[in-house]
Chain A
Amino acid sequence: MKLEISNLTKNYGEKEVLDNINFSFESGKIYGLLGRNGAGKTTFFNCLNEDIDIDSGKFLLDGKKLTVDEIGYATATPVVPEFLTGKEFLQFFLDINESKIDKKKSLDDYFDLVQLSKEDQDILLKEYSHGMKNKMQILINIIANPKVILLDEPLTALDIVVQEDMKKLLKSLKKDHIIIFSTHILELAIDICDEIVVISNKRLELIEKKNLNTKNYKDKIINQLKEEAND
């Protein structure tokens, strides 16, 4: 599976954020999207998800126009309907996606995926901590089996045990999905991602690892990120 982005340009008024981006993402890999503050990571995700209008460009998934149905997008600030309990939200989502969910597991099986305890399932999402809301949002965005999964800073608010579980979960999903994962934390990106893509100078750039050891690879990424400031 291949996601091709061609000629993507996005401006906010007179401010150019993304400039004629051409890039391809493939399934079987987790892509780490790195960029400095304000570089346009979230804008890039919002463009793919049709949350904002683009100035030009197109997105093709295996040659066909990418539709929002094929995307699961977990935003940096988790947003969940606060008047529902965790269980009610999951049940609602399963109801309306019956046709898309291949192997129907029980609610408990799904909650086990993100380690939400029994007692937490029955309290209002409004009362969930930031980390719990995050888990819930990731869960909702992966169970309908979208082909492209966009994760904006997804693991930062989770405790280290859950982080490890989520890493395993994402690695298990990568075979049949294109996963793009944005983060500020270089170590996390190197640890979990198969490819590192840097967003700098309004473009996406793949940082080749080739024969570099981890330290040299990190230096190469940081140099690339610094370049933007120097340009």
Chain B
Amino acid sequence: MINYLTKSLEFDIAYMVNSFLYVLRGLPILKDLLTDDIYKSGILKKIANIVIIVFFILRSLFLKFFYFFIIFVGCYELFPNTFIKTYFHIYFILTIIGFFINNKLLNSSKKKYFSINLFRVNANKMAKADLLWNQLSNLVLNSICILFFGYLINSPIIYSLVLILFTFFIRFIGEALNIIFYKKYHYIWYSNTKYYITVLVTLIAIGALPFIGVYISLKLIMIITVIVIIIGIISANYLFKANDYKLIYQKLFSIVNIMNPKNDKDYLRQAMVEVKEKDKKIDNKKLIGKKGYTLFNTIFFERHKEILIRSAKKYSLILLGLYLLGGYLVLTDLKYSEAISSLLHNNLGWFVVIMYFVNRGAIITQAMFFNCDHAMLNYNFYRKPENLLGLFKKRLLTVSKVNLLPALVIGLGNVILLILSNDYNVLIIITTFLFIIFLSVFFSVHYLVIYYLLQPFNKNLEVKKISYSFVTLITYMVSYMMTNVTMNSITFSLLGLLFTAIYIILALYLVYRFAPKTFRLD
């Protein structure tokens, strides 16, 4: 078991080291310095090993710490007077939720599948080693965090010890119950949505009890912990004595399951952009009179109606609902009327971040690559500059149109709110409306342009260019930072119009100049 555990950790580290070196080789300057020999270099690998181990420990610690921090701050903000009681209550309930849904033994992964079927690893040893590692590493991380936050609230150490023991032993119970359920019914209980929702809603309801002033007392937590320790020891004994893990895994890991795991990130990304069943049939009237690239582009958008057009319509409806509510508040309550008027007069930056979230540009480019360009870029005629740029123009027009619908709702909604609040002039109405429309075009151009200039995806739709991740991160950060800008809306809109106009012209120039070279498969 220990041997497997060592090998398993070595495997994970080797995987992370190679991924790390791969990322390094993608960085601008390092790309030229690091050659293929990087994977053979003993010293470099040793350094990478240390970096990865340190990174892995810090990351695990950070994530655990962040989890506790969110609970801690959330409880403090929502219940400042009964903060400590709430903190224990919420942590206790969340740990029980974790015990139900955070299952490690029955968690399917390609690593487990290949270990058993390809490397012929003993399934019993593997399962037990994984369980042991998971429990011990969590014990260490949880202990650090529970003791630290316990210290912050001056809680007696005995309470922290109770929580540590409760967290440690309840996981054994969770794993054992899941295994027993699986053996009896041949499926993982939480894949049954009805069970899953019932249990989750019940637990969340108990978790929400502090809102009505009811708490699970520390005394009750201590009594439950004693019971959990006893059942936990029995469960651990059951799990470590069981010898039928191979059978369990063989049933669990059918090849179809492993190759199309529903929780696999690639699968989810791809499923999000794939052509939906109801979009397979197209209304032929929409294709009449169209040919060549115009026909090609129309079919593309018609086949992606669900993720593009219908989704933009859904956003527009939600926004419409919000604006109706806003209009009602402006008309009925002076306080809200003043707040909304102030937002529209001085904090238009909020609409940058709203437009960022409403825009479908990012997902459209993913659909373009996965369902179309990834194949079409293999054909010489498609890569010819005139065809590439001709299609870019058609796409840009269609994408802008798709995004224009929610933009119109926001733009007109703002105008109506300004009129209803009776605090407006013609200039602010025109500039803010135009700003929203330009902003919508800006985001449409932005995503399409960076897609054409960086072509960031591989065939699994993973982002393989760090520059793309960097640009999208900057886009988000700048959009978010706009919420802090307080400026007269007319000035903000005029500056925004100027910036977006310059950006759009520059971006289109760059695409026309460079895309024939950059928009290719590597």
Q: How far is the CB of A79 from chain B (nearest CB, A)?
A: 4
Q: Are B35 and A14 in contact (CB under 8 A)?
A: yes
In the complex the two chains form, what is the Cα distance from A124 to B375 in whole Å? Answer: 14
Size of the B side of the interface (Cβ < 8 Å), in residues, is 28
Q: Are A124 and B291 in contact (CB under 8 A)?
A: no
Q: Are B374 and A124 in contact (CB under 8 A)?
A: no
* A95 in contact with B295 given A81-B372, A83-B372 (CB within 8 Å): yes
Q: Which residues of A contact B372 (CB under 8 A)?
A: 81-83
In the complex the two chains form, what is the Cα distance from A14 to B378 in whole Å? Answer: 26
Of B37, B295, B303, B374, which one neighbours A92 at CB under 8 angstroms?
B295
In the complex the two chains form, what is the Cα distance from A152 to B477 in whole Å? Answer: 46
Q: Mark A88-120, 1 if CB is under 8 A from B, else 0.
A: 100110011100000000000000000000000
* A79 in contact with B375 given A13-B35, A92-B292, A96-B292 (CB within 8 Å): yes
In the complex the two chains form, what is the Cα distance from A50 to B377 in whole Å? Answer: 12
Q: Mark B358-400, 1 if CB is under 8 A from A, else 0.
A: 0000000000000110111011110110010000000000000
Q: Are B375 and A80 in contact (CB under 8 A)?
A: yes
Spot the interface stretch: A18-26, A32-40, A67-75, A209-217.
A67-75
Closest B-chain residue to A71, C-beta based?
A: B380
Of B299, B371, B381, which one neighbours A96 at CB under 8 angstroms?
B381
Within 8 A of B (CB), among A51-90: 51, 68-69, 71, 73, 75, 79-84, 88
* A15 in contact with B36 given A82-B275, A96-B292, A96-B293 (CB within 8 Å): yes
A175 at the interface (CB under 8 A from B): no
B503 at the interface (CB under 8 A from A): no
Report which residue of A15, A50, A88 has the largest number of chain B beta carbons within 10 angstroms of its beta carbon.
A88
A182 at the interface (CB under 8 A from B): no
Q: How far is the CB of B20 from chain A (nearest CB, A)?
A: 19
Q: How far is the CB of B199 from chain A (nearest CB, A)?
A: 37
Within 8 A of A (CB), among B106-125: none
Q: How far is the CB of B67 from chain A (nearest CB, A)?
A: 40
Q: Are B291 and A81 in contact (CB under 8 A)?
A: no
Q: Are B275 and A126 in contact (CB under 8 A)?
A: yes
In the complex the two chains form, what is the Cα distance from A216 to B486 in whole Å? Answer: 86
Q: Which residues of B contact A124 (CB under 8 A)?
A: 275, 280
Q: How far is the CB of A21 from chain B (nearest CB, A)?
A: 22
Q: Are B303 and A83 in contact (CB under 8 A)?
A: yes
* A49 in contact with B380 given A13-B35, A88-B299, A92-B292 (CB within 8 Å): yes
Closest B-chain residue to A88, C-beta based?
A: B299
B521 at the interface (CB under 8 A from A): yes
Q: How far is the CB of B297 from chain A (nearest CB, A)?
A: 10
B300 at the interface (CB under 8 A from A): yes
B296 at the interface (CB under 8 A from A): yes
B304 at the interface (CB under 8 A from A): yes
Q: Which residues of A contact B303 (CB under 8 A)?
A: 83
Closest B-chain residue to A50, C-beta based?
A: B380
In the complex the two chains form, what is the Cα distance from A14 to B280 in whole Å? Answer: 47
Q: Which residues of B contact A173 (CB under 8 A)?
A: none
Q: How far is the CB of B159 from chain A (nearest CB, A)?
A: 57
A140 at the interface (CB under 8 A from B): yes
Q: How far is the CB of A124 from chain B (nearest CB, A)?
A: 6
Q: Mark A118-146, 1 if CB is under 8 A from B, else 0.
A: 00000010100000000000001000100
* A82 in contact with B381 given A14-B36, A88-B299 (CB within 8 Å): no
Q: What are the 7 closest A-B residue pairs judged by CB atoms, nearest first?
A: A79-B375, A68-B380, A95-B292, A83-B371, A95-B291, A13-B36, A83-B303
Known: A80-B375, A124-B280. 4 other contacts (CB 8 A): A12-B36, A82-B275, A83-B372, A95-B292
**Chain B interface residues toward A at CB < 8 A:** 35-37, 274-275, 280, 291-293, 295-296, 299-300, 303-304, 371-372, 374-376, 378-381, 383-384, 387, 521
Q: List 11 A-B contacts (CB under 8 A).
A: A12-B36, A73-B378, A75-B378, A79-B374, A79-B375, A79-B378, A83-B299, A83-B303, A88-B295, A91-B291, A92-B292
